């Protein structure tokens, strides 16, 4: 991304793209801080950070943030959890909506699907682990379709490539042609924590810290809730 010195710049994964777009506008209007985030697949963003990306604030899944901080790419004392997102199941609009009240419901939904879409990154890896725990890895191996980095798994539903998809709620909730079934039941629940931090390469770390505080504020939590996430530490 071309750096505009008038803006504090940020990088994020796609799961938080819409939240950060709204919050950036709120921060600009309420605090006079021009803020702009660029979002892509989380793996790609982490690669860019390791290659010396020119930005101030980073928001990614917590595991990636821990690794990048350990490698010296983040100011360690700034890394903080922001929001928690549930992985949900979704189906194409106009098709039967499976029940997801129990593990047996989940097994039935998986076994009845012809093509199952899942994402790259932590939520996709967690889904594969879950399928293995359910002893369905071999049965479902040829039915699994991984969406390309930065592409919502739900888009494979709308295109007819898959008839069941799993991804962060924030990435599925507003997709046309997609019906969100709900979160996974009981012990099968998959959640991801998204954290923020100031990049060590930031040329304006003071302003970046201020932005990070605003992203973790109570006002920001309301926007996160409207986009399918909850504040870190909030169990409601």
Contact 110, 184 (CB under 8 A): no
Give residue 5's pLDDT band: very low, low, confident or very high (50, 70, 90). Answer: low
Q: Which tokens belong to 6?
A: 């008038």
Residue 1 reports pLDDT greater than 80: no
How far apart (Å, rounded) are the C-alpha atoms in residues 8 and 228?
26
User: Per-residue pLDDT averaged across 34-58, rounded?
Assistant: 94
Its pTM stands at 0.84
Helix (H) or strand (E) holding 221: helix 218-226
**pLDDT cut 90: percent of the chain above it:** 74
Question: Could you report the per-residue pLDDT of 162-198, keeping only the tens digit for each?
Answer: 999 999 898 888 889 999 999 999 999 999 899 999 9
How far apart (Å, rounded) are the C-alpha atoms in residues 69 and 198?
10
Give residue 3's pLDDT band: very low, low, confident or very high (50, 70, 90). Answer: very low
Write down all domains in the chain, each with its CATH number in brackets.
Answer: 8-84+193-231 (3.40.190.10), 85-188 (3.40.190.10)
- Alpha-helical segments (H) within 118-168: 122-133, 137-140, 155-158
How does the average pLDDT of the chain come out, rounded?
91
Rg (CA), the chain: 18
Q: 101 in helix, strand or coil?
A: coil
């Amino acid at each position: 991304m071309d750096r505009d010195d008038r803006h504090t710049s940020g990088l994020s994964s796609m799961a938080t793209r819409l939240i950060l777009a709204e919050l950036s506008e709120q921060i600009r209007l309420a605090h006079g801080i021009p803020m702009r985030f660029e979002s892509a697949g989380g793996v790609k963003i982490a690669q860019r950070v390791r290659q010396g990306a020119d930005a101030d604030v980073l928001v990614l899944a917590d595991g990636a943030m821990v690794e990048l901080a350990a490698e010296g790419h983040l100011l360690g004392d700034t890394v903080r959890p922001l929001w928690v997102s549930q992985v949900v199941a979704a189906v194409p609009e106009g098709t039967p909506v499976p029940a997801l009240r129990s593990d047996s419901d989940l097994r039935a939904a998986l076994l009845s699907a012809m093509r199952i879409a899942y994402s790259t990154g932590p939520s996709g890896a967690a889904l594969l682990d879950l399928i293995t725990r359910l002893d369905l890895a071999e049965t479902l191996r040829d039915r699994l379709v991984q969406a390309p980095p930065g592409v919502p798994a739900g888009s494979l539903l709308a295109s007819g490539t898959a008839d069941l998809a799993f991804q962060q709620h924030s990435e599925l909730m507003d997709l046309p042609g997609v019906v969100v079934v709900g979160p996974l039941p009981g012990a099968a629940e998959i959640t991801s924590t998204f954290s923020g931090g100031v990049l060590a390469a930031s040329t304006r770390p003071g302003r970046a810290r201020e932005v990070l505080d605003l992203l973790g504020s109570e006002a920001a939590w309301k926007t996160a809730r409207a986009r399918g996430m909850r504040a870190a530490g909030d169990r409601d």
